[in-house]
Amino acid sequence: MSLLPCVRPEAATGLVAQVYERFPAKAGIPAPALLLSVSPDLLAGQGRFLAYYGAHERLDHHFLAMLRFLVATAMGFTPCERFNRKMLILMGMSEAELDCLSKEPSSAPLDEKHKALLLLALKSVTRPEAVNAEETQALRDMGWTDQDILDASFHGALLLGPAVLCRAFGVE
Query: How many of the other CB atoms lie within 10 Å of CB of 68?
Result: 23
Q: How many C-beta neighbours within 10 Å does residue 31 have?
A: 24
The structure's pTM equals 0.93
Which pLDDT score is estimated for 7?
97
* Alpha-carbon gap, residue 106 to 118, rounded angstroms: 9
SS3 93: coil
Do the beta carbons of residue 140 and residue 109 sit within 8 Å?
no
Q: Please give the pLDDT value at position 1.
A: 80
pLDDT at 148: 98
Rg (the chain; Cα; Å): 16
DSSP conformational letter for 144: -
| Spatial separation of the C-alpha atoms in residues 164 and 84, rounded to whole Å | 17
List the chain pLDDT tens, one digit each, 172 residues: 899 999 999 999 999 999 999 999 999 999 999 999 999 999 999 889 989 999 999 999 999 999 999 999 999 999 999 999 999 999 999 999 999 999 999 999 999 999 999 999 999 999 999 999 999 999 999 999 999 999 999 999 999 999 999 999 999 8
- Cα–chain-centroid distance for residue 171? 17
Helix axes 160-169, 78-90, angle to 10 degrees: 120
Burial label for 76, CB within 10 Å (0-12, 13-18, 19+), is exposed
Say if residues 169 and 3 touch (Cβ distance below 8 Å).
yes
Cα gap 129→70, rounded to integer Å: 18
Residue 100: strand, helix, or coil: helix
pLDDT at 47 (0 to 100): 87
All structural domains of the chain, each given as residue ranges with its CATH number in brackets, are 9-56+162-169 (no CATH), 61-158 (1.20.1290)
